[in-house]
Amino acid sequence: MDETLNWDDLRLYLAVARNGGLAGAVPTTQLSAPTLSRRMISLECALGLSLFIRRRDGYGLTGAGKELLDLAEAVEQGILGIERWRSAVDPHPVVKIAAGAWTSIFIAGHLPGLIDVTENLSLEILTGTATAALLRREANIGLRNRKPETPGLAGKRLVRVEFAVYGRKSLIANHSETTGARRFEASPWIAFSPPGPKTPSAVWLDRHLHRSAQIKCSTAQTVIEVALSGFGFCVLPCFIGDAESGLERASGVIAELGHDQWLVSHDDDRHSKPIKLVSRKLAGLIQSHQRLFSGQI
């Protein structure tokens, strides 16, 4: 070995190996592809081994890379065990909630219903982290759009989530065609385009537009702000669009985008007192707004 091996490089290695390359590891690590590439080269130098088969369509693993994957996962489980132990004895535990961008905005607007200043716990909201792995304890609670099928995860169905097209009232009045099929060719549009795989609503919009949206936003809040400016139309979950007084619906509910929302946690973690407390409050908060989520308000 030419350099000192460190766990952080192994953590990044796991992300690259599990996602089949640099691009897939970017959302989970929050590092750029060039930075990840440099760190993987550094790890190979430290080990004195070639770990990857570098292809144009991604990274494969060499024999040594596959062996390291098994060893690194064992190390990861050991570290997670230490973190679980620390959380169990921590007088001020942190509960991590992984949620999509829109749901994170909803949670942020209703924090008093989730955490009390007198409670000895903190919340960490991991936004846009569909990839946050509950099995690896990257998050304690996940809000997802499908029932968990992975062994070791428990899920509770919360509400139905519906979507619609939204815009400012003045914009809707000036574009009466927005209620018909011509809206996709005659109206200005705003698209939500976060890093990583396209969201279902973005895929739906791409399929219907005759040309690319004039404005693309990488954050959900920016989509809302541009829509409030009156620039164009956007696709929003009803619990966001209907709650925003400056916006109005410009379509009916988009049936093919509707889905159930599930609260998901690790089979073991869900029995932890702080996680159980936050899960109960979170489920209660969302279910108390069931009509808003399902587009009935």
> How far is it, in rounded angstroms, from Cα 112 to Cα 297?
23
More confident of the two residues 268 and 15: 15
Give the tens place of pLDDT for each residue, 9-19.
888 999 999 99
Give the pLDDT mean for 279-288: 96
* Distances 170 to 107, 247, 250, 274 between C-alpha atoms, Å: 29, 10, 11, 47
Q: Which residue has the higher pLDDT, 277 or 178?
A: 277
Mean local confidence (pLDDT), 184-204: 88
Per mean pLDDT, which range of 15-19, 59-63, 195-199 is the poorest? 195-199
pLDDT band for 289, please (50, 70, 90 cuts): very high
User: What residue ranges define each of the domains in the chain, with the CATH number in brackets?
Assistant: 7-86 (1.10.10.10), 92-160+259-290 (3.40.190.10), 163-257 (3.40.190.10)
Strand-pair category, 215-217 with 52-55:
unpaired
| 134-190 confidence digits (pLDDT tens) | 766 778 899 999 898 877 788 999 999 999 999 998 888 877 655 566 778 778 999
- The mean per-residue pLDDT over the stretch 34-47 comes to 92
- Of residues 174 and 292, the one with the higher pLDDT is 292
Cα–Cα distance for residue pair 277/296, rounded to 1 Å: 29
